[in-house]
Amino acid sequence: ELGEFAHHMRKEYWEQPASAARALKGRLEERFGTARLDGLNLDARAKRAIRRVKILGCGSSYYVGQMGAQMIEELARIPADAEPASEFRYRNPIIDPETLYVAVSQSGETADTLFAIDEIKRKGGQVVGLVNVVGSSIARACDGGIYLHAGPEVAVASTKALTNMALSFGLLALDLGRIRDLSIADAKRIIDGLQAIPGQIDEILRQEDRIAEVAKPLSASASLFFVGRVRGFPVAREGAQKFKEVSYCHAEAYQSSELKHGPLALISAQLPTVAIVPDDELVQRNVGALHEIAARGGPLVAITHAGVDLSGLTAERIDVPKNEVELDPILLTIPTQLLAYHAALALGHDIDKPRNLAKSVTVE
Ligand code: M6R
């Protein structure tokens, strides 16, 4: 079933142009500039009554949740944040009837996420799920939700399911935004952006040979940083997570804005940094952080856009196609999947079944 692919991880990231298209299929209402998400089981009045959004998931599903919180805040202007479900369930959380709780899970069987849902429901809260596996325990426990339609995911390192989670958050943000203050013009901009994503993922995957070359020297490092800020920070966190999982190199994500408050002390020729540098309103500040790293001899890889000027810096650059600023994180994440895979391949690791990890964590 692997066909031309040596590993499920690579097969699954190559499936993304098709699987991403499935996440959007039948869910965009171009005429009204909104998303159609009947499975949420929320009418306009219930959606309008939402005062906060709290997103819960574990591992990478939590990092995508951070991406989703940002999309909801930007497009719907509802305060939103993400928290690891594994922490939330143990801290006697305050459950608020005006908060929409969103549980995020590929497998739908992650024990920590399931118990967090139980805690919310016991206290009378409302939970919707972003879940891949149809009929799974989490899907059944939620009051409604959005199925990801990513198809079966076998590799422990999640790729296509995460992309569909991020796209589903884009749809949710659009839906919640359009019953508030998101203009139809902005909504159409987002709809066009979402529709462009499957093709743009394909463009990134076609750069695989070059990304593999960039990955090889990274695999030789004992430790590396992934940095980004604001929209780019969840991308950096997910990039570091993927790199750790399959290459076993220590990878730490940091906000580029925080480097000068401590971690710059670690920068040296032995510690490469993968920087997420979107072409947005923070680009000059991001490029400034790269200069700080370069001045201390730190090797740099920039995942960026063609319009970003990195002159005066010695950096490997990986350019991704430009989308709308709110959606760019979805595309900026794709090269991090390829970097992790090719670093692990260079090291000869068991990529689909990394040591100490299980695909679905059904124990506490
Ligand atoms: O099935 P889930 O999405 O609930 O799984 C959550 C995490 O265990 C999962 O995302 C984990 O971090 C992956 N191995 C990431 O690649």
Residues in the chain: 364
Give, for ligand 1, the residue of 361, 362, 363, 364 to mutate: max count of ligand atoms closer than 8 Å to Cβ: 361
For atom 11 of ligand 1, the residue with the nearest CA is 59
Mean pLDDT to the nearest integer, 1-13? 94
pLDDT at 17 over 90: yes
Residue type, 314: T
Which alpha helices (DSSP H) does the chain contain, by range? 8-14, 16-24, 44-48, 60-76, 85-88, 111-122, 137-141, 160-178, 184-205, 208-219, 232-247, 283-295, 328-347
Percentage of residues of the chain with pLDDT beyond 90: 91
* Tokens standing for residue 158: 């999640």
Q: What distance in angstroms lies between residue 116's CA and the mean position of ligand 1's atoms?
A: 15
Residue 363 pLDDT > 90, yes or no?
no
Mutate to test the pocket of ligand 1, among 110, 112, 156 (most ligand atoms within 8 A of CB): 110
Per-residue model confidence as pLDDT tens digits over 229-263: 999 999 999 999 999 999 999 999 999 999 889 88
What's the pLDDT at 224? 96
Q: Whose CA is nearest to atom 10 of ligand 1?
A: 60
Q: In whole angstroms, what is the distance from residue 204 CA to residue 210 CA?
A: 10
Distance CA 229, CA 283 (A): 10
- Tell me how far apart the alpha carbons of residues 242 and 229 are, in angstroms, rounded to a whole number: 18
Pocket test for ligand 1, best of 13, 58, 67 (most atoms within 8 A of CB): 58
Average pLDDT over residues 15-28: 98
Q: Which atom of ligand 1 is nearest to the CA of 357?
A: 14
Closest residue to atom 14 of ligand 1, CA basis: 157
pLDDT range class, residue 25, cuts 50, 70, 90? very high
- Residue closest by Cα to atom 12 of ligand 1: 59
* Higher local confidence (pLDDT), 302 or 265: 302
Residues with CB under 6 A from ligand 1: 58-61, 105-107, 110, 113, 156-158, 245, 360-361
Distance 106 CA to ligand 1 centre (A): 7
Q: How confident is the model at residue 304 (pLDDT cuts 50, 70, 90)?
A: very high
User: How far are the Cα atoms of 27, 28, 157, 188, 195 from residue 192, in angstroms, in the given order?
Assistant: 13, 10, 29, 6, 5
Amino acid occupying residue 308: V
Residue 273 C-alpha to ligand 1 middle, in angstroms? 24
* pTM given for the model: 0.97
Q: Distance between CA 18 and CA 155 in Å, rounded?
A: 18
What is the pLDDT at residue 147?
98
Average pLDDT of span 172-191: 97
Its ipTM equals 0.98
The radius of gyration of the chain from alpha carbons, rounded to an integer in Å, stands at: 20
Residue corresponding to tokens 């002390």: 265
Look up residue 130 and give its two tokens: 């972003």
Q: Is the pLDDT of residue 175 over 90?
A: yes
| Protein residue closest via CA to atom 8 of ligand 1 | 59
Distance from residue 279's CA to the centre of ligand 1 (Å): 29
CA–CA distance, 331 with 309 (Å, rounded to integer): 19
Select from 247, 226, 236 the least CA-distant residue to 348: 247
pLDDT over 90 at 51, yes or no: yes
Test site for ligand 1: of 107, 243, 248, most ligand atoms within 8 A of the Cβ: 107
pLDDT tens column, 139-158: 999 999 999 999 999 998 99
Handedness of CA 106, 65, 13, 217 (dihedral sign): negative
DSSP at 192: H
